[in-house]
Structure 1
Amino acid sequence: MDKTPGKPRDKATKPSRDDRLKAALKANMARRKGQAQARRDADRVADKGQEEE
């Protein structure tokens, strides 16, 4: 085996904390944007239903 138990990992294979946080923030913002879009679409459908009555 090439890897020894105490050998630190290569920096290229392990993302830094900042990189992980940035990726998590981007994913959360995309999810929230999708949720907001779904709420807007649901409100539009509900508004159309009330206008027809």
Structure 2
Amino acid sequence: MNDKRDQKRAEDARQAKEDRLKAALKANMAKRKAQARARAGEEKSKE
């Protein structure tokens, strides 16, 4: 019985970690896209 509970807890922790990493990746990609857009805008305004 303890094994099933421990297995469930480990599975929940793994899922939570995956969700955190997924959210962090999404935020990072959005930040990078914004930076790329800003750089592209700077290049166009200089010309």
Short-chain TM bin: 0.7 to 0.9
Which has the larger helix fraction?
2
TM-score if structure 1 supplies the norm length? 0.71
Pick one of 17, 22, 29 that aligns with 1:29.
Answer: 22
Structure 1 runs of 4+ off > 2 angstroms?
none
Q: Percent identity?
A: 15
Q: For the aligned residues, what is the CA RMSD?
A: 1.5
| Runs of 5+ consecutive residues of structure 1 not aligned to the other structure | 1-7
State which structure, 1 or 2, has the greater radius of gyration over its C-alpha atoms.
1
Aligned length: 41
